[in-house]
A and B are shown apart, each in its own frame.
Chain A
Amino acid sequence: MLNPQLVMYDEEQKQIEKIASKLHRDSRSKTILLVDKNGQLIASAGEVSHLDTTSLSSLVAGNVAATGGIAKLIEEDEFTGQYHEGKGISIHLTLVGRRAILVVLFDKNTTHGLVRLRVRKASAELAKIFEELALKAASTPMPSVFDEITDEDIDNLFND
């Protein structure tokens, strides 16, 4: 499969969250989101309680998919980053290991230059973790919890 299933384990989740928190601090940004390319939120740091992170993740992924499509059409490899400047809040998007999107929301408390600098380091670290995850997922069989899913379990999901 071109796009293997993303599997996350405790150990890597903690490492990722640590990197996100550090990036949040060091870049003096408001919010960090790490989003799977398919639009699912993997981790976050900073101010998130007032944000609809599910919607944001899906739109960010749609946006990156669209620019990726544009890149292909003009025979550019893939745009690795995007920057949208707002009056109050700006947003910086970076592709991480072709698998995830690192999103930084920031305001006047910092500068785009500082954000870019800190993101470079963090995304290199994250890319390494995603590589390890892919290897780990490929060599670890799925735990038996999924073997035990019954048709009844599935039916129960839909009974309110």
Chain B
Amino acid sequence: MSFINYSSREINCKLVYYGPGLCGKTTNLQYIYNKTRPEAKGKMISLATETERTLFFDFLPLSLGEIRGFKTRFHLYTVPGQVFYDASRKLILKGVDGVCFVADSQEERMEANIESLDNLRINLNEQGYDLDKIPYVIQWNKRDLPNAVPVNILSRECNPTGVPEFEAVAVSGQGVFDTLKALAKQVLAELRKGT
């Protein structure tokens, strides 16, 4: 959950990028890191295997400026998407304020997307969260690939509740900031509600 410090006038929020292995979670954070001005970001930490697969998490701290005199900081995390890292995924979800589900648009990854979504829901439930009640957006990534499934079909299969969804090509950055903004907006709106 977010950390509000009235003493230093800061709001800290934790956003988690979730999704199947190789869907492009780490690529999202790398693009955000590369395109953010130096004074607004901290170091990006990647705990990865030798083959660049996420082993525990990626971490990117952003401080985006002030809202009503409060510094807003977002801590972005990715989970490891490979199925057998489930224990680690659960740990990263602790204290989450908002989730971005990154789906791999390729036809052969449809099953992996659905499995990962089910896994997200279960792991959130274990922590006492309900995916339908927390800030949540979806990104259809890898739209550049020829075997990408049409968005209306992805939407039907993976977004039955109609949360905000964005097409993206994370390697070139298309849709990456739109996705992040939409999620950050929902998280801040949640604060306004007074959770």
- A→B interface (CB under 8 Å): 1-10, 12-14, 36-40, 42, 52, 54-55, 58-59, 62, 65-66, 68-69, 73, 141-143, 145-149, 151, 153-158, 160
A143 to B177, CA, bound (A): 30
Of A5, A65, A153, A155, the contact of B94 (CB 8 Å cutoff): A65
Closest chain B residue, CB of each to CB of A12: B7
Closest 8 pairs (CB-CB, A-B): A38-B95, A13-B7, A5-B1, A2-B128, A65-B91, A8-B5, A157-B64, A10-B7
A149 to B194, CA, bound (A): 12
The answer to whether B7 touches A14, judged by C-beta atoms less than 8 angstroms apart, is yes
Residues 1-35 of chain B: 1 if any A CB is under 8 Å from the residue's CB, otherwise 0? Answer: 11111111000101000000000000000000000
Q: Give B59 Cβ to nearest chain A Cβ, in Å.
A: 5
Closest chain A residue, CB of each to CB of B127: A2
A73 to B129, CA, bound (A): 22
The answer to whether B56 touches A62, judged by C-beta atoms less than 8 angstroms apart, is yes
User: Is B188 an interface residue when CB atoms closer than 8 A count as contact?
Assistant: yes
Residues 94-128 of chain B: 1 if any A CB is under 8 Å from the residue's CB, otherwise 0? Answer: 11000000000000000000000000000000011
Closest chain B residue, CB of each to CB of A7: B4
Q: Give A13 Cβ to nearest chain B Cβ, in Å.
A: 4
Q: Tell me which residues across on chain B come within 8 A of A141, comparing CB atoms.
A: 194
A82 to B5, CA, bound (A): 27
Q: Give A126 Cβ to nearest chain B Cβ, in Å.
A: 15
Given A149-B68, A153-B68, A158-B181, are A40 and B4 neighbors across the interface (CB < 8 Å)? no
Q: Tell me which residues across on chain A come within 8 A of B69, comparing CB atoms.
A: 145
A9 to B3, CA, bound (A): 11
A119 to B91, CA, bound (A): 26
Of B2, B3, B65, B192, the contact of A149 (CB 8 Å cutoff): B192
The answer to whether B127 touches A58, judged by C-beta atoms less than 8 angstroms apart, is no
Q: Give A4 Cβ to nearest chain B Cβ, in Å.
A: 6
Given A5-B4, A7-B4, A147-B192, are A58 and B87 neighbors across the interface (CB < 8 Å)? no
